[in-house]
Structure 1
Amino acid sequence: MGRAGALTASGEELDGFSASVARAYFPHALAVKTRASGPAELRAVDLGPLRLARIGWGSEVAVESDHPGAWAVNVPRSGILEAQVGGRHVLSLDGQATVCPPDQPTRMTRWSADCSIVGMRVDRDYLAEEVASLVGLPVDRLPAQLDLRSGGGRTWMALLTSIGTEALADPELASDPRVCRRLAGTLSAAFVTACFPEATAHGEMRPRIVSRVVEAMEADPAHEWTASELARTAGVGIRRLQQGFRRYLGRTPTQELTAIRLRRVHADLLSGQAETVADAAHSWGFTHLGRFAAEYRRTYGTTPSHTLRCP
């Protein structure tokens, strides 16, 4: 269940504030480099596998974290965020995001006093599944920095701003688990799109777990596909496969297989390649002619025998 909240602190209270940031976002080691020039601020919302946070320290600080169990995507909305990420120097300003991997030391060497970030924390396993299902690539190929000024980066940033503002402002919205899952899925999918633009077609994701299974069914529609066979083809569990089909095609794998078979029968009946309706239906994997005829009529608005007679 999601949780939303806000907190402010003066420079003298940064130790307690740091503990609140650790609970809301990530545990870390804090080094304060300058006296406070303004109030510290923390706003956070928990969306289950994904958390959002708005963090400003009010002082220039250095922050070190291993980001246990989750990715951190930090977007400075003002000021300077300078970091060492996996041995790489990353300087992010407004319009850029620093992407920090889980379970690896990252040091924010300069988090300027005027730097306020919007942070997105994503559970390691959840994001790995999203990347694998959407683009078929390992999650460790995520970039260390993301450009938010154009393309998918700009789209994700707009969603992050909109959803974050809405969720933080409306605690009731963040308390509904179904809404939280939907918002987390929307943000994570948009983030993956932004990180892997080469794996998109016409601006839309190509979910590999779905495309692999559809390709396999298209190659052999008459095969008696089982749920476990399809899941092995996709490289995911049965539940994950069903979720992918519903999300991207709006139907189950079984319904998609039926649609593929119907198209093959329809083509054979139109072309005259089948002598009888039963021959065409059986050749493409339909074993119950009554159910087949009902599905055919529902799809094409006529009977298969009429199609065979009137090509």
Structure 2
Amino acid sequence: MNKLIGDHSIEIVKKPCSEAYFSHDAFAGFSIANLAYGTNLKVHCKALQEIYHLQIIVKGHCFWRFDNEMLVLKKGHAVILNPYEPIEHQYSPDCHKLILKIPEAFIKDIFLNTYDRIPKAGLKFDRSVIDIQKNPSLARLIEAISLETDEASNSVYGISNCYREIIVKKLIALFQHNGKIESKTFDDRPELDHILKYIHENIKKDIEIAELAAISNKSVRSIYNLFSKSLSTTPKIYIKNLKLQKLRNEILEGEARNVTEAAFEYGFTHLGHFSSDYRKLFGELPSQTLHSRRH
């Protein structure tokens, strides 16, 4: 585990009261870990070498101690740990945490390619907490890369690199840091409107990102950057959510004869995934939407 999430030691405060859990994946050069220790304990972390940690509390709470400073992170809170910063965590027994390890080189390269200059001491994020429930675009990006980890074909179109750039730019935009952001601005609205019009007109089809690149005479990477900059999401998530919204409207307006048929018309072939995505977006199952419309 030290190799996967960083060098650390554990001090158990109380006996375990539930099962520990750990999973690990890699995508776009990121290391993604989900962990829960199942007990109240302290974790002493040595200074991370050339790695940033984005840590998100999925459940429970966690105390962070930097020297004489302390942060309390609750469910939905996210914070970034900088390289070369020793830290101590104390976990609640039910604490479940997601950790995204980001190589320092990624942050540096993307910041320099996008903005003017980077501080001599390196880019340092403030010890400020972000509530991802108030920043749904970040939550959806994290969800997106989790879904992409099993799709090795993405490397064919360099999609993993696009995600890398979008995630890093999103973190730079959301979290306070010591860098000075000065970048040129461009009016991309006409190009975006053309792409969105195409998506709306073909929403029941299986729209590929390469297809959007072709109709707009742009690269796949440029499409991802355009959606990130203008809509704070990825084209894949935008298309999926639009399909779900259109389908929901058909149910509410009585245009859909049944949920399964409507789902297939919009390209949702895995009904379990469809129902899960629908509930995440609207807070209810499609069958519940249909029931409420009938009553």
**Match among 114, 123, 138 for residue 156 of structure 1:** 138
**Match among 64, 81, 84 for residue 100 of structure 1:** 81
> Aligned runs of 1:245-284 on 2, under 5 Å?
none
Tell me the secondary structure at the aligned position of residue 145 of structure 1: coil
CA distance in 1, matches of 2:157, 2:10: 33
Residues 250-297 of structure 1: per-residue CA shift (max 9 Å, x gap): xxxxxxxxxxxxxxxxxxxxxxxxxxxxxxxxxxxxxxxxxxxxxxxx
The 1:150–1:132 alpha-carbon spacing in structure 2 relative to 1, beyond 3 Å, is farther
Aligned to 1:232: none
> Aligned runs of 1:134-283 on 2, under 5 Å?
134-136=114-116, 138=119, 140-149=123-132, 153-164=135-146, 166-168=147-149, 170=150, 172=152, 178-196=158-176, 208=183, 211=184
> Aligned runs of 1:65-76 on 2, under 5 Å?
65=45, 66-76=47-57
Q: Does 1:53 align with 2:36?
A: no
* Contact 1:47–1:183 (8 Å) recurs in 2: no
Flag structure 2 segments of 5+ consecutive residues without an equivalent.
186-220, 227-295
**Match among 52, 58, 63 for residue 77 of structure 1:** 58
Q: Which amino acid aligns with 2:10?
A: L
* Contact 2:14–2:39 (8 Å) recurs in 1: yes
* Contact 2:65–2:88 (8 Å) recurs in 1: yes
Greater mean alpha carbon deviation, residues 53-62 or residues 185-194: 185-194
Q: Which amino acid aligns with 1:96?
A: H
Q: Which amino acid aligns with 2:137?
A: T
After superposing on structure 2, the runs of 4+ consecutive aligned residues of structure 1 that deviate more than 4 Å are 173-177, 244-249
Aligned to 1:22: 2
Q: Percent identity?
A: 10
* Contact 1:90–1:98 (8 Å) recurs in 2: no
Shift of 1:135: 4.6
Q: Which amino acid aligns with 2:93?
A: A
Aligned to 2:108: 128
Residues 108-131 of structure 1: per-residue CA shift (max 9 Å, x gap): 1x1112010111111112112333
Tell me the secondary structure at the aligned position of residue 113 of structure 1: coil
Aligned to 1:294: none
CA distance in 2, matches of 1:141, 1:68: 14
Flag structure 1 segments of 5+ consecutive residues without an equivalent.
1-20, 201-205, 213-243, 250-311
The 1:85–1:161 alpha-carbon spacing in structure 2 relative to 1, beyond 3 Å, is farther
CA distance in 1, matches of 2:144, 2:103: 21
Aligned to 1:90: 71
Q: Which amino acid aligns with 2:104?
A: R
* Contact 2:166–2:224 (8 Å) recurs in 1: no
The 1:167–1:32 alpha-carbon spacing in structure 2 relative to 1, beyond 3 Å, is farther
* TM-score, normalised by the number of residues in structure 1: 0.51
Shift of 1:247: 7.8
CA distance in 2, matches of 1:26, 1:79: 22
**What is the aligned length?**
190
CA distance in 2, matches of 1:135, 1:85: 29
Q: Which amino acid aligns with 2:123?
A: D
CA distance in 1, matches of 2:49, 2:161: 21
Aligned to 2:97: 117
CA distance in 2, matches of 1:207, 1:78: 37
Shift of 1:30: 1.4
Shift of 1:132: 3.7
Considering only aligned residues, what root-mean-square deviation do their CA atoms show, in Å?
3.7
Residues 62-87 of structure 1: per-residue CA shift (max 9 Å, x gap): 11222221011111111111111364
Q: Which amino acid aligns with 2:80?
A: V
CA distance in 2, matches of 1:190, 1:59: 33
Tell me the secondary structure at the aligned position of residue 156 of structure 1: helix
Shift of 1:196: 4.9
Q: Which amino acid aligns with 1:155?
A: S
Tell me the secondary structure at the aligned position of residue 160 of structure 1: helix
